[in-house]
Amino acid sequence: MRRKLIAGNWKMNKTPDETVALINELIPLVKGAECDVAVCVPSVCLHAARAALEGSGIWLGAQNMHWEASGAYTGEVSAGMIKAVGAECVILGHSERRQYFGETDETVNRRTHATVTAGITPIVCVGELKDQRLNGYTNAVVTYQTAIALNGFSADEVRALVIAYEPVWAIGTGLVATDEQANETIGVIRAAVRAAFGDAADEMRILYGGSMNAANAAGLLRQPEIDGGLIGGASLKVHDFASIVRAAG
């Protein structure tokens, strides 16, 4: 059995003080959770979040990082930098990074290699646009994105990575893939991993990341291929996020 993971993506929200307040409210609500829990906060909040999370068992995550260890990359942070402030995981290739900041499948792969080298767990996002789904290209898109993201890894490395399937048309729109649609597409992603890495696919966790919330989480998380959720807006509502965590137990 793959242990479920519920990861909150706070996006560009919360100051360091607000981060500490939200974490302090969250910790008692998810104490004893039967799944892994992570909060992925803005880079400027990582240090404050690490102190607030001490001893809670909740993972600290970042939302992006560069593939180089250092250099003339104004505004970027490296794997070594986020690890130094306690990050245990990092979101890579989120659709908003791809849409607004020029992220590509190839740069996602480079970033993923940098996280593995640094000993940080990557949460690698893949997913199709609305037009791609309507025209029947969903399976081809997620298979290709998965293959490029995992290029150059060994099966042993792949076992510990996390993929998040986020249909781009469902990010921040309130639209959600049906339980069956999400399960089917995650099954396609797992099949792509199995074709390249064999039974490592049975250990890799694949999350659903398209507007999962307190109302729909239980149905999605009952699906056999779905190993948790990458939670956007609902992760900023502490009781809703805690409800999702409980649904994963």
Q: Residue holding tokens 């250990």?
A: 203
**Annotation says 94 is catalytic:** yes
CA–CA distance, 49 with 247 (Å, rounded to integer): 24
Kindly report the backbone phi and psi dihedral angles of residue 16, in degrees, each rounded to the nearest multiple of 5, phi listed first.
Answer: -55, -45
Q: Residue holding tokens 């829990």?
A: 37
**Annotation says 47 is catalytic:** no
CA–CA distance, 92 with 89 (Å, rounded to integer): 10
* Selection from 62, 17, 20, 55 nearest residue 39 by Cα: 62
Kindly report the backbone phi and psi dihedral angles of residue 85, in degrees, each rounded to the nearest multiple of 5, phi listed first.
Answer: -100, 10
Catalytic hit among 88, 128, 166, 225: 166
Catalytic hit among 94, 96, 113, 225: 94
DSSP for residue 4: P
CA–CA distance, 91 with 75 (Å, rounded to integer): 17
Strand partners, 5: 36, 228
Q: Are 233 and 16 in contact (CB under 8 A)?
A: no
Q: How far is C-alpha 7 from the geometric centre of its chain's CA atoms?
A: 6
Q: Tell me the catalytic residues.
A: 94, 166
